[in-house]
Copies of this chain bind each other. A is one copy, B any other.
Amino acid sequence: MVFDDIDRKLLSLLQSDSKQTNKALANQLNLSVTAVYERIRKLEKNGIVKNYVALVDKSKVQKDFVAFCHIKLVQHSQEYVVKFEREVNLLNEVLECYHLSGDYDYLLKVLVKDMSSFREFMVEKLTKIDHIGSTHSMFMINEVKHTTAIAL
């Protein structure tokens, strides 16, 4: 799909606030309501807009201890990798997991209540997954920036 500057601006608006009415969007884009409606439909249909979500303030729900865990597997056979990735997907403390280049295989972003919850997570959940060789964790001191909006 090809998108122009108006689509880009529209995506930027929707990424910052998806509860705006089509009328409000139309004003900012100098378009008619119908034109905005059609463009949004197209973006959704093409899977460019995946979905709409509410963002929750983690500090307000006692989940503001963020840890980044580097993980190395003992082996890299297909079987081990698939199993590890499936298990990680089931852990709700893990918000993000990336297979990475470099010294370690994976980077996990883990969200829990506090250090003791993190300890529990490591002992009871993460290290219970087979084939984990070594881990190295770093803790967030402060969140400097966090956005879900992709600049186009």
**Which A residues have a C-beta under 8 Å from some C-beta of B?**
1, 11, 14-19, 46-58, 60-61, 63, 66, 68, 85, 88-89, 92-102, 106-107, 111, 138-152
- Judge whether A57 and B52 touch: CB under 8 Å: no
Kindly identify which residue among B17, B88, B89, B106 contacts A52, using a CB–CB cutoff of 8 Å.
B17
- Judge whether A11 and B60 touch: CB under 8 Å: no
A–B complex contacts, Cβ < 8 Å, 5 sampled: A1-B60, A19-B52, A52-B53, A63-B152, A102-B139
Which residues of the partner chain B approach A144 to less than 8 Å between Cβ atoms?
Answer: 85, 88-89, 97-99, 106
With contacts A15-B54, A15-B56, A61-B152 taken as known, whether A96 is within 8 angstroms of B138 at the C-beta atoms is no
Report the copy number of this chain in the oligomer: 2
Which residues of the partner chain B approach A141 to less than 8 Å between Cβ atoms?
Answer: 98-101
Which residues of the partner chain B approach A61 to less than 8 Å between Cβ atoms?
Answer: 11, 48, 150, 152
Kindly identify which residue among B11, B19, B92, B100 contacts A56, using a CB–CB cutoff of 8 Å.
B11
Bound form: Cα–Cα A107–B141 in Å: 11
With contacts A18-B18, A66-B98, A107-B138 taken as known, whether A151 is within 8 angstroms of B53 at the C-beta atoms is no
Smallest CB-CB separation from A49: which chain B residue? B54
